[in-house]
Chain A
Amino acid sequence: MINQIVEHATDQSATLQHATEAAAEHGESGVGFILHHILAHPVIHLPTIYGVDFSITNHVIMMWIISAVLVLSFGIAFRKPSLVPRGLANALESLVLYIRDDVILPTLGHNARAYAPYLLTAFFFIMLCNLAGLVPYGATATGNIAVTGTMAIMTFIVVQVAGVRKHGVLGYLKMFSPPGVPFLLQFIMVPVEVISMITKHFALAIRLFANMIAGHITILALMSIIFIFKNWLIAPFPLAIILFSSLLEILIALIQAYVFTILSAVFISASLASEH
């Protein structure tokens, strides 16, 4: 693990030369270097249609790699599912079991079976996207607001579908006006409920995005200290803190995947609930 982090650090210092060039572009040296490192770069240029740039960025490539890894590892491990798993199947199963037993079943209960596939996919996808940013040459796709926004929209769609499937369209819309509230107050309550429905998913996107990007910004900023001081002797101090931050980032990567999954499960169960 330490090796990995050191490599990560060296990888990042290698891009520092890059940063000086980027600094010229962006004007301010530190911010430019950090932004250059965090933002997505197009790898394969594709045409822009109706103002949407369909270029494949490094974040998209990372998502593809992660998806391939997930499909391959699960496909190989569970080609013939056995009641007594071994090896890779055992390792993957322990994670699946953890999410199923500690996240999905307690919040969704008997509805778990229908929504488990989405929640499990979201968990593994986000977890690997988060961790991929800590791997040398990796990029954090979940440090991209477009990616986390899409994930939040997915949860939003699942939540709406769950509510409509459970209560019907009208029944579901009725849930936005809480019962037992005076009629006039409904003019306030309904917008509040609608806004709350949107903000909680918006927060889902921002939470994941900000958590992922904050760690990187911290590490890169600490790295910049060495170059601001232009002194070798100062290096051990930022490096020590970078090591610590990198370890913390591993923790945060796992926690945020877990948080996203459990919040999605909670939102789904809220829209499945008969009364608010």
Chain B
Amino acid sequence: MELMTPSGGTIFWTTVTFVILLLLLGKFAWRPILAMLDERESRIRESLQQAEKARIAAQQTLAEQDQILEAARKEAQEFLAKSRKSAEITKEEIIKKAGTEAEALITKARREIEMSRDKAMEDIRDLAVELSMNATAQLIGKSLDAKDHQALIDDSLTKLGKLN
């Protein structure tokens, strides 16, 4: 049967055609395509690895930043607490100092007042003696001696003391 008998000519031509096709496609198609596919695959693999690396690095940086931030926050808090404490101390000191100063001022003022009063008292006493002396002189028309003076002064003083 003709259908099942292979013809030698066709076998020959098929061989020639296929071998030439294989060589041509091997050179112009398969070699560049397969090389390109390999390159693309390696490129993709590299890119993925790089992305993974970058991700890890980013994560590290983020963690570091978090750490730094946390440290800064802690430091700030400590600083705040310290300054608050020192401010408190300063405040108390100032108040205490002000208190003592005020106390000192008051005592000083009081003493001065006392001194002024005493001095005024003295002045008044002297003035009173002089005045009374003058008045007495005028009144008696004669000058009294020192003894009389003293007696008068003492008299006046006792009177004043009583008044006082």
Chain B proximity of A35: nearest CB distance (Å): 7
Residue contact A60 to B39, C-beta cutoff 8 Å: no
- Known A-B contacts A116-B34, A117-B22; A63 and B17 likewise in contact (beta carbons under 8 Å): yes
Q: Which residues of B contact A64 (CB under 8 A)?
A: 17
Interface size class of A (residues with CB under 8 A): 35 or more
B36 touches A81 (CB 8 A): yes
Distance A2 CA – B119 CA, assembled complex (angstroms) = 139
Q: Quick one: closest A residue to B19, CB to CB? A: A154
Query: Which stretch in B23-31, B82-90, B127-135 binds the other chain?
Result: B23-31
- Which residues of chain A are near B31, meaning CB under 8 Å? 117
Interface residues of B in 1-54 (CB under 8 A from A): 2-15, 17-18, 20-22, 24-26, 28-37, 39-40, 43
Of A54, A56, A74, A82, the contact of B25 (CB 8 Å cutoff): A74
Given A71-B24, A78-B28, A125-B21: A150 in contact with B15 (beta carbons within 8 A): yes
In the complex, which residues 53-82 of chain A have their Cβ closer than 8 Å to any Cβ of chain B?
A: 53-57, 59-60, 63-64, 67, 70-71, 74-75, 78, 81-82
A118 to B37 alpha-carbon distance, docked (Å): 17
Q: How far is the CA of A35 from the CA of B31 in the complex (A)?
A: 41
Return chain A residues, CB-CB under 8 Å to B3: 35, 38-39, 145, 213
Partner of A125, one of B10, B11, B18: B18
> Smallest CB–CB gap between A271 and chain B, Å?
19
One of A60, A116, A124 near B10 (C-beta < 8 A): A60
Contact assessment for B32 and A78 in the assembled complex, using a CB-CB cutoff below 8 Å:
yes
- How far is A70 from B24 in the complex, measured between Cα atoms in Å? 10
Within 8 A of B (CB), among A126-158: 141, 144-147, 149-151, 154
Task: Judge if A182 is at the interface, Cβ distance under 8 Å.
Answer: no
Instruction: Say whether, besides A53-B9, A146-B6, A83 and B36 are in contact (CB < 8 Å).
Output: yes
Most buried by B among A59, A93, A150, A154: A150
Which chain B residue shows the least CB distance to A67? B21
B101 to chain A, nearest CB (A): 87
Q: Is B21 touching A70 in the complex (CB atoms < 8 A)? A: yes
Report how far A146 CA is from B4 CA in the complex, Å.
9
Cα distance A118–B26 when bound, in Å? 8
Shortest A49–chain B CB gap in Å is 9
Q: Are B30 and A120 in contact (CB under 8 A)?
A: yes
Does A100 reach chain B (CB closer than 8 Å)?
yes
B6 lies within 8 A of A145 (CB): yes
In the assembled complex, the CB of B33 is this many whole angstroms from the nearest CB of chain A, namely 6
Contact of A121 among B2, B11, B21, B34 (CB under 8 A): B21
Report the bound CA distance from A52 to B20 in whole Å. 21
Please tell me if the beta carbons of B35 and A81 are within 8 angstroms of each other in the complex. Answer: yes
Contact present for B37 and A146 (CB under 8 Å): no
Q: Would you list the 7 A-B pairs with minimal beta carbon distance, nearest first?
A: A52-B8, A146-B10, A74-B29, A146-B6, A150-B14, A81-B36, A117-B26
B residues with CB within 8 A of A: 2-15, 17-18, 20-22, 24-26, 28-37, 39-40, 43
Question: What are 7 A-B contacts with C-beta separation under 8 Å?
Answer: A38-B3, A40-B10, A56-B13, A71-B24, A78-B29, A100-B37, A146-B14
Given A117-B22, A147-B10, output 8 extra A-B contacts at Cβ < 8 Å: A52-B8, A60-B17, A67-B21, A78-B32, A120-B25, A141-B14, A146-B7, A149-B6
